[in-house]
Structure 1
């Protein structure tokens, strides 16, 4: 486990969020759930205070901090996706029940956490050796909400949409 891990702040939804996240990514699990031992700002005795969990081998902590805090795009979590099916699956799951789609493969889940759902081939297209192709792929990406691998490929290769 890494010496440094992100801590996500929730208002009573830490365990729900952690369970969603670990259900989506291989090599993920809930490690520990710590309950409040006394009534306090973070909740009543017996309610969840902290959930430690692992996502794809990276440790995280979810804290029920006792008040709503807003997330910004200054911190987001990028998931590299092997193919379009994985992009689609994660996109749909993280948007479910109140998430919000944004531009260029970004979204906010129902808890307000920002995610980037990115095909692993993206650098090949927007940073490839064909500078004109990379520029076309970048322009195509800027017009996308959910990233479309075939659309990026076609743009890079200079082919019009099917």
Structure 2
């Protein structure tokens, strides 16, 4: 059950969008456009937007650059989560994760099952944390991006969401690195 506590003030976060594709450019990046539209409509800020080829090192390098940036709180990538030989986004994400958010993929699969049935097993959506930054890898389809945002990220990236959300624990993501 998801609910918004209207007595709490909304806290916008800075989100970077990464499209992983060998063929798309900004002009035809419908999934990236969908995520940008949704995050801005929700009141968040677009911190940056890039397109990189399906190359594990290039994807990981872009993720690391945003993890190191004080201007990015969340990275959402789209594309490259499937099963083919060129689908290496999940591996690139796992190269940089400090902690994986295991339930993100599970919940995404449950949401997908309601829309596309057993075809949901072909997605390897994943989430994790590194350097105090949330990282989410979504499939490249516009429908999958809508589902992930509308059913999961919209709520978890809203400080007002109860009983808990990602935003309220954001200041503590890297507490293990602080001196005592």
Q: TM-score normalised to the size of structure 1?
A: 0.30
- Structure number having the greater strand percentage: 1
Pick the structure with greater CA Rg: 1
Structure number having the greater helix percentage:
2
